[in-house]
Structure 1
Amino acid sequence: MLPCPFKYITGIDCPGCGFQRSVIALIQGDLHKSFLFYPPAIPLLIFFTYGITGSFFNLDTQNHFVKKTGFMIVGTIILVSYCLKLYNLDHKVSI
């Protein structure tokens, strides 16, 4: 596993921390564990897959609506997940 340089320098998780473990759990077939490690992993992988296949097969050529919408949805999921992680971390430390 690759170490997170942001976490190494600052001591707090970055918005992508847990993605590697989540993908490994997903490859092993454990969806629940994958979701617990990093909730945005599955939507992010779907978005990447659509983006890569879309560039090969010229999908979503008109105004890139699906890509923009997917980007906003996945970005929101990442942001909410990260805020909840930081909120829970803060409550564990202060209690």
Structure 2
Amino acid sequence: MEDYMLPCLNKKLLGFECMGCGIQRALSLIFQGEFVEAFYMYPAIYSLIALFLTIGLNIFFKFKNSNIVIGALAIISVATIVISYIIKIII
């Protein structure tokens, strides 16, 4: 599966990682059953999975407060992505 991963164009052209670097490898690690390593690779992976699962389920089954849940998961995901990217840059 690693042979078919897309390269990060930002890293290739500009020389530094983008905020999405690591998401493919984290998904690959989840499929291999390495859940802790997936979190270390891309900390927002689980909140993004929860977000997309909620959006997908909401298409078929309308939840009462789905907009609140989806909004909260989106905020958590974006905050996690930004914070982990800042930490990656500093360290």
TM-score if structure 2 supplies the norm length? 0.87
Gap runs ≥5 in structure 2: none
1:16 paired with 2:23, answer no
- 1:57 corresponding residue in structure 2: 61
Whichever of the two has the greater Rg, that structure is 1
Report the 3-state secondary structure (helix = DSSP H, G, I; strand = E; otherwise coil) of the residue aligned with 2:10. helix
Change (3 A) 1:12 1:57: same
% same residue:
31
| Cα RMSD for the two superposed structures | 1.4
Q: Residue type of the partner of 2:19?
A: P
Gap runs ≥5 in structure 1: 89-95
Count of residues in Structure 1 that have an aligned counterpart in Structure 2: 87
Residue deviations 1:17-46 (CA, integer Å, cap 9, x gap)? 000110111111111211121111111111
Task: For CA contacts below 8 A with separation 6 or more, give which structure has more relative contact order.
Answer: 2
Moved over 6 A (4+): none
Report the 3-state secondary structure (helix = DSSP H, G, I; strand = E; otherwise coil) of the residue aligned with 1:64. helix
Q: Residue type of the partner of 1:49?
A: L
Change (3 A) 1:27 1:63: closer
